[in-house]
Amino acid sequence: MSKGLVRSGPDLFSFKIELDLAEKPLMTQNKFKKNILCIGAGYVGGPTMTIIANKCPDYKVTVVDISEERIAAWNSDQLPIFEPGLKERVLKVRGKNLFFSTDIDEAIDQADIIFVSVNTPTKNFGEGAGKAVDLQYIEQTARRIKENSRSNKIVVEKSTLPVRAAETLETILHSGANGVHFEILSNPEFMAEGSGVRDMEFPDRVLIGSKDTPSGLAARKELVDVYLNWVPEENLITTNLWSSELSKLVSNAFLAQRISSINSIAAICEVTEADVTEVSKAVGRDSRIGAKFLNAGPGFGGSCFRKDILNLVYLCEYYQLNEIASFWEQVVTLNDYQMERYVKRILQVMFNTLVGKKLAVFGFAFKPDTGDTRDAPAIYICKRLLEEKACLRITDPHALKNAQKDLEGIDSEVEYIEDPYKAAEGVHGIALITEWAEYSKLDYQKIFDKMEKPAFVFDGRNHLDHKALFEIGFNVYSVGKAPLTHF
Ligand code: UDX
Ligand code: UDX
């Protein structure tokens, strides 16, 4: 089996067949305690199931997806997502108790516990457009589970859903009564990209929401038993279904709200010559506030924060809690303002015109250690810079392919360059948007020597050594700090 694991490219197909053949004897031997299935092999489903399979060798874990391409990638050497530590863990258990497949219907039939991890984007049409969650994939998945189930199952909401979505799921699953009982649990994920493996292996908490009925509590125990394979009991929090669903939205809303709060303070720092890093440090030292998530930046991104806050806003509006809706909506408004402020600063500093000027964009991913660019501030910022007719040279260690997709159709003045030194050659300024570790280790003297003068750095993450850059000759503008300039 192991030789199959190193195959890739043209051998992909035969590799999959090998996996399938290997899978059959294990199933017939029935050597597994339970069959776990995850529908949706994305950023959440793939890593979550990989860790469960690693930690629970006596559970068979299958991950299915409607995308053949995604499943083929999970079965290959080139995983569809980049996440530190993930590949080693996939290779350790793939073909043993972790399987990736497109045979959704058969996998549903065989499963005892089904995690639903399909995407839940913000609705972009009709009622609630721009705020409410588009539940079409959840509903389609629920119908498919119902159609293919011949035995009782636990269905776990892993995707972030609106509060009371479990009720809808249950109604769909139990409609047309075929004698099968489904018990719904909510088990939101709190993994952050880039640290997903660690977050899953050493979680601050695992939250499981269930109904307070005998079957609800029994289902909850089954899921608790899975996590007890590696999570200390005191880190398992059990609640009712609605509290669990709401806690996920609230966690992300609180985290995003801290970022908008510190970004608002960054704007004050830039005009008063206070330093946002010093302010964060001083404020975060109060144990009631805490030091984390107080880094000012160009705005938060990622697939969750905006979507989940807007989901919360929609919920408030639905219940006519309008003041509360506008309180949370302000977190998103402030984030939009922060991205725009970053662009405006570049424009103003570079003599109010960017026409024909070259800018190197350092980092496109929404955060380091991931190739994910969903809702990345870089998308908005680059689009605005292109509107100002700047020429962009975008560099990123893992996100260039996604950047290309995000800017498709408007990128005639964009070059995608892997090597940051090459990206910076002949440019007028560097805009650092993602704090990849390697960017702080570059030879900035070498970069400066090949740039147009005056040379500018716009450090959107306070990631670089500003004093050293200034001494080399750069004019340095960083978020929430007074500029260091030579004129
Ligand atoms: C998704 C949601 O976006 C997020 O709100 C939730 O918290 C967890 O699930 P993520 O894993 O990051 O997060 O999404 P994505 O990478 O888009 O993966 C979803 C996968 O579901 C895709 O591979 C898609 O092909 C698959 N899918 C979607 C199905 O298998 N069936 C469907 O009907 C729809
Ligand atoms: C988030 C939550 O952290 C996680 O618990 C949840 O399960 C999914 O959503 P993720 O979006 O992967 O995770 O990354 P996160 O580390 O939260 O960063 C989100 C955004 O906030 C990034 O764009 C990041 O750069 C930004 N950020 C984070 C800041 O601007 N400043 C900070 O201090 C922290």
Q: List residues bridging with 476 in a β-sheet.
A: 457, 484
47 and 173, same domain (yes or no): yes
Could you tell me what percentage of the chain is helix, strand and coil, using 3-state DSSP and rounding each to the nearest 5? 45, 15, 40
Best CA proximity match to 108, nearest among 97, 116, 118: 116
8 Å CB contact between 469 and 444: yes
Q: Rounded to the nearest whole angstrom, what is the distance from the C-alpha of residue 194 to the centroid of ligand 2?
A: 10
Using CB atoms within 10 A of its CB, is residue 421 exposed (0-12), middle (13-18) or buried (19+)? middle
> CA-to-CA distance for 227 and 281, rounded, in angstroms?
35
Q: Is residue 10 part of a domain?
A: yes
Residues 184, 331 share a domain: no
Residues 225, 55 contacting (CB under 8 angstroms): no
Last residue of a domain, which of 202, 231, 260? 231
If one counts the domains in the chain, the total is 2
| Ligand 2 pocket: which of 248, 250, 300, 396 to mutate (most atoms within 8 A of CB) | 300
Residue 266 lies in a domain: no
At 476 the three-state DSSP class reads: strand
CA–CA–CA angle 403, 405, 406 (5° rounding): 65
pLDDT value at residue 6: 31
Closest residue to atom 1 of ligand 2, CA basis: 192
Statement to judge: residues 335 and 393 lie in one domain = yes
Pocket, ligand 1, Cβ cutoff 6 A: 39-45, 65-67, 70, 117-120, 137, 140-141, 158-160, 303
DSSP label of 121: P
Asked if residue 245 belongs to a domain, the reply is: no
Around 466, how many Cα atoms within 13 Å sit in the side-chain half-sphere? Answer: 20
Q: Which of 204, 231, 258 is the last residue of a domain?
A: 231
- Residue 363 is predicted with a pLDDT of 98
18-37 core/surface letters (b: 16 or more CB in 10 A; e: else) = bbeeebeeeeeeeebebbbb
In a domain, 307, yes or no: yes
Report d(CA 41, CA 50) in Å as an integer: 10
State whether 185 and 318 are in the same domain: no
Distance 54 CA to ligand 1 centre (A): 22
Geometric angle at alpha carbon 271, from 265 and 273, rounded to 5°: 85
Angle between helices 305-318 and 241-272 (to 10 degrees): 120
Both 336 and 459 in one domain: the answer is yes
Contact partners, residue 387, CB within 8 Å, separation at least 6: none
Divide the 487 residues of the chain into consecutive groups of 10 and give the mean pLDDT of each group.
Answer: 33 35 45 96 96 98 98 97 94 98 98 96 91 92 96 94 88 88 96 94 97 97 98 98 95 98 98 97 98 98 96 95 98 98 98 98 96 97 98 98 98 98 98 98 98 98 98 98 96
Same domain, 117 and 12: yes
> Does residue 369 sit in the same domain as residue 481?
yes
Instruction: Identify whether 323 is part of a domain.
Output: yes
* Whether the Cβ atoms of residue 92 and residue 54 lie closer than 8 Å to each other: yes
Claim to verify: residue 361 and residue 467 sit in the same structural domain = yes
For residues 287 and 217, state if they share a domain.
no
Could you write out the DSSP letters of every residue in 29-58?
A: HT--SEEEEEE--STTHHHHHHHHHHH-TT
Q: Over 190-239, what HEC string results?
A: CCCCCCHHHHHHCCCCEEEEECCCHHHHHHHHHHHHHHCCCCCHHHEEEE
**How many A from CA of 68 to the centre of ligand 1?**
14
Whether 316 is catalytic is no
Q: Which residues, judged by CB distance below 6 Å to any ligand atom, belong to the binding site of ligand 2?
A: 189-193, 252, 255, 259, 293-295, 297, 300-302, 304-305, 366-367
Residues 208 and 303 in one domain: no
User: Which amino acid is present at 80?
Assistant: P
**Hey, what are 292's tokens?**
């984390």
CB 366, CB 389: distance < 8 Å: no
Look at residue 129 and tell me if it is in a domain.
yes
Between CA 81 and CA 365 the distance in angstroms is 12
Give dist(CA 355, CA 353) in Å, integer: 6
Whose CA is closest to 460, among 266, 256, 175? 266
What pLDDT shows up at residue 30? 66
Give SS3 for 177.
coil
For the CA of 191, the nearest atom of ligand 2: 7
Output the domain CATH number for residue 444. 3.40.50.720
**Same domain, yes or no: 107 and 167:** yes
> Of 203, 231, 259, which marks where a domain is finished?
231
List the domain range (segments joined by +) for residue 37.
2-231
Protein residue closest via CA to atom 33 of ligand 1: 137
Closest by CA position to 163, among listed 240, 59, 70: 240
Whether residue 279 is contained in a domain is answered as: yes
Looking at the structure, tell me whether residues 306 and 441 fall in a common domain.
yes
Taking the chain, what is the end-to-end CA distance rounded to the nearest angstrom?
65
Contacts of residue 327, defined as CB under 8 A and 6 or more positions apart, other chains included, come to: none
Report the nearest-CA residue for atom 24 of ligand 1.
Answer: 40
Asked whether residue 259 is assigned to any structural domain, the reply reads no
